[in-house]
Amino acid sequence: MPETIIRKMSEVELQEVRWLWKPYIPFGKLTIIQGDPGEGKTTFALRLAAACSSGVALPGMETTEPFNVIYQTAEDGLGDTIKPRLIEAGADENMVLNIIEDTDPLSLSDERIEKAITETGARLMILDPIQGYIGEDVDINRANEIRTVLKKVAAVADRTGCAIVLVGHLNKAKGASSQYRGLGSIDFRAAARSVLLVGRLRKEPNVRIIVHDKSSLAPEGKSMAFNLGNEDGFYWLDGYSEISAEELLCGYSTETKTAVAEKLIRDMLDDGKEVMADEIFRMAESKNISRRTVNEAKKKIANIKTRKVGKGWAWSIPE
């Protein structure tokens, strides 16, 4: 039986989080980019690779020295799809690297990942899609199998300081909360320190939104947007920072989750009634509306009042 070794937290050194793109993508950790097919997640991943390889500043960040990026794809051809899109994005082709896996497919448990990162000094590795790199003997729906694989690749990220980004598809559970829309076990989401959701707007199909759907190392960042799909090509957009994951998943139509939440709040507080916030959150949850969305809806009601009652808060709208 192994010896039990105890350490005191006073003996653990504090470590500062380093960021590739604050607060969306940390160095030395796993990040997941997910979305439905054709919604722009691979375009975003390629733009990310191109920016890092050429030293172009990401939104909200300062320009940095270019660095090597490893890009693996299990769905697209390198010569006819990936390279043309990288060139269009302004990538330095000499600094975007690829592990050859023509006869020996790569998996997240493969020792070549850490070896390639160490030998090239890559600070970003992207694997697109996750499902193509799980390994043929691993069931993506079995938590115990997925947890073991992700623990290994997370350890590689930690040891090397490389940001490892996994690109994944969403499942078909329309209407489910964003945390349950990732394909396979929810342990994918649990292992990632950051999860970004990419999708398009129903009424503005050229607009693609990036929602910061999970953040374990910093407060979640505001939603970002970029143009894609018309003659103007890719460029970053302003004015979409308040869109939530739930709103994006429903297309951000006129009946968004925030709008539904706002109506729910107004109905529950009708005629000057005072209702505990926890009760409102519970009612919203029964309608698959998150606490975050309820709070966003609350901000849109200018005359809402809050009052401390015991250990909770009561909300009301004065008549």
Give alpha helix (H) positions in 89-168.
Answer: 111-120, 143-160
Write the burial class of residue 160 (CB in 10 Å: 0-12 exposed, 13-18 middle, 19+ buried).
buried
Run of H or E residues at 170: none
The average pLDDT across 133-139 equals: 84
More reliable by pLDDT, 80 or 319:
80
Report whether 195 contacts 150 (CB < 8 A): no
The number of residues in the chain equals 319
Closest by CA to 250, choosing from 298, 293, 190, 301, is 293
pLDDT in tens, 154-207: 999 999 999 999 999 887 655 555 666 666 667 888 899 999 999 988 878 888
Residue 145, CA atoms < 13 Å, CB-side half-sphere: 11
Report whether 207 contacts 223 (CB < 8 A): no
More reliable by pLDDT, 54 or 248:
54
Question: Given a cut of 60, is residue 45 above it in pLDDT?
Answer: yes
Closest by CA to 162, choosing from 23, 21, 13, 26, is 26
Q: Which residues pair with 31 in a beta bridge?
A: 165, 194
pLDDT at 176: 55
Specify whether the backbone of 288 is left (phi greater than 0), alpha (psi in -120 to 50) or beta: left
Q: What is the DSSP string of 49-103?
A: HHHHHHTPPPTTS-------EEEEESSS-IIIIIHHHHHHTT--GGGEE----SS
What pTM does this model have? 0.77
Write the burial class of residue 57 (CB in 10 Å: 0-12 exposed, 13-18 middle, 19+ buried).
exposed
Question: Given a cut of 50, is residue 247 above it in pLDDT?
Answer: yes
pLDDT at 315: 94
Closest by CA to 53, choosing from 36, 75, 63, 68, is 68
Percent of the chain with pLDDT over 90: 59
Question: Given a cut of 70, is residue 17 above it in pLDDT?
Answer: yes
What is the residue type of 87?
I
Percent of the chain with pLDDT over 70: 93
Alpha carbon distance 188, 166 (integer Å): 10
The average pLDDT across 294-310 equals: 88
pLDDT at 181: 65
Mean pLDDT of the chain: 89
Alpha carbon distance 222, 17 (integer Å): 19
Write the burial class of residue 40 (CB in 10 Å: 0-12 exposed, 13-18 middle, 19+ buried).
buried
pLDDT in tens, 87-134: 999 999 999 999 999 889 999 999 999 999 999 999 999 999 998 999
Q: In the chain, what are the domains?
A: 15-249 (3.40.50.300), 257-316 (1.10.10)
Question: Given a cut of 50, is residue 310 above it in pLDDT?
Answer: yes
Alpha carbon distance 130, 140 (integer Å): 10
pLDDT at 71: 98
Question: Given a cut of 70, is residue 234 above it in pLDDT?
Answer: yes
Question: Given a cut of 50, is residue 254 above it in pLDDT?
Answer: no
Report whether 275 contacts 315 (CB < 8 A): yes
